[in-house]
Amino acid sequence: MPPQRLRAIQKALMTWYRIHQRDLPWRRTRSAYRIWVSEVMLQQTQVETVIPYYRRFIRRFPSLSALASSDLEAVLKVWEGLGYYSRARHLLEASQIIARDYRGRIPRDLQVFLRLPGVGDYIGAAVLSIAFQKPYAAVDGNVKRVLSRLQAIDLPMNASASSRVFKHAAQALLDRDAPGISNQAFMEFGALQCIPRNPLCNCCPLRRLCKAYQSNTVKRLPNRGSRRTVPTRHVAVGVVYNRDRVLITRRAPRGLLGGLWEFPGGAIGADESARAACLREIREETGLSVTVGDHLATVRHAYTHFKVVIDVFRCAYQGGTVHLSGPVDFRWVSIAELDQFAFPSANKKFMHLLIRR
């Protein structure tokens, strides 16, 4: 790239950022730990969603040592509803590794930092540039979109084969005098100005530098690649009452909704009724015999790779002792105690029906 063009882009972005940057909680700290927490939460998650979670998390775990001495149960409760729960588990594990092996200091060496669970190219570059002024370009979805337009890069954003090109382009544009601000400027510009649909080209200070704008190809960039349609799964779930307590089970720590608590249930088979599936799944998962009573709710929920329709039934404990198959733990709890446990959002959609009955 011509050095003149390079400097013009850097200067325009930095000027734009000074004027338009948002006042965000994690921009008011120099703590590498807090910046790291924010970056983990911001993965695939919009700023407005993250803000209240970030505040609660920092209030509950103000320092890395506070987090490291906590446990998964407590961390998931704060993370409840934010999604991608492996982020929380990895953050906890990484904090414990740092406390044990690095005397509580976040590694400033990229290769060392990248070995921690949950730390990939983006988190590594973002945290080390913002907290320690290290010269690494952070490449997220915003940056790839901005680069696609600015440099007219017609490569599918979601393909791993394209990452090398985007990373190289981003590194070339990084302002090495202020890499942390430079990275944030690129991302903020993508979030506020060079937005996915209908970018604000009319008032864009970079439009004379933008190859897509100059060639009238903004509408075709970025190249989003392809994706497939998601299937729908039908699930039956039971709220099993034994006197005034209900049964909850805990999911295995890895995989979908790892470590969260839920009401037992499972997929409805072909040629199977929802009630029959409810009875069968509870017996298979917990070994308990129940009777299936009232239909409490039908809940719809969308995940990344599938949609689910959940039929929820009130059930009554009949007999047997719990022998878990699938879940890794269980509790009999009162309705009032439910809010002490972290549940998936799909469960929260019907839990309010259980209050005071």
Instruction: List beta partners, residue 42.
Output: none
Q: Which amino acid is at 61?
A: F
Least Å distance, CB 1 to DNA, is 23
Smallest Cα–Cα separation from 181: which of 17, 4, 8? Answer: 17
CB of 26 to DNA, least distance (A): 7
Alpha-carbon dihedral sign for residues 21, 24, 26, 30 = positive
What are the CA-CA distances from residue 108 to residues 88, 125, 129, 134, 338 (Å)? 21, 11, 10, 8, 41
Q: How far, in Å, CA of 334 to CA of 344, rounded?
A: 18
Q: Is 39 a catalytic residue?
A: yes
Rounded to an integer, what distance in angstroms lies between the CA atom of residue 92 and that of residue 64?
Answer: 9
What secondary structure letter does DSSP report for 30?
-
Based on CB atoms, which residue is closest to DNA, 118 or 327? 118
CB nearer DNA, residue 197 or residue 243: 197
Per the structure block, which two tokens stand in for 310? 């959940």
- Chain contacts with DNA (rule: CB under 7 A): 24, 26-27, 38-39, 42-49, 81-86, 90, 117-124, 126, 140-142, 145, 157, 159-161, 184, 187-188, 190-191, 196-197, 224, 227, 229-230, 255-258, 301-305, 344-346
Least spacing, CB of residue 243 vs DNA, in Å: 29
**From the CB of 115, what's the least distance to DNA, in Å?**
9
Helix 141-150 to helix 163-173 angle (10° resolution) is: 80
Please tell me whether residue 254 adopts helix, strand or coil conformation: coil
Measured from the CB atom, is 117 or 135 closer to DNA?
117
Contact 212/148 with Cβ under 8 angstroms? yes
State whether residue 338 is helix, strand or coil.
Answer: helix
Q: Between residues 230 and 353, which has the closer beta carbon with respect to DNA?
A: 230
Q: How far apart are CA 33 and CA 38, in angstroms?
A: 9
Task: Choose among 13, 9, 4: nearest CA to 187.
Answer: 13
Give strand pairing partners of 345: none
């921690």: which residue's tokens?
Answer: 116
Question: Taking the CB of residue 248, how many other CB atoms lie within 10 A of it?
Answer: 22
How near is the Cβ of 281 to DNA at its closest, in Å?
A: 18
Least distance (Å) between residue 147 CB and DNA? 11
The HSE-up count of residue 250 (CA atoms within 13 Å, CB side) is 17
Minimum distance from residue 97 beta carbon to DNA (Å): 12
CA dihedral 21, 26, 31, 34 (to 10 degrees): -150
Nearer to DNA, 193 or 290 (CB): 193
Say which of 39, 80, 188, 262 is annotated catalytic: 39
Cβ proximity to DNA: between 183 and 275 the closer is: 183
- Nearer to DNA by Cβ, of 35 and 290: the residue is 35
Cβ atoms of 250 and 313 closer than 8 Å: no
Q: Show which residues are catalytic.
A: 39
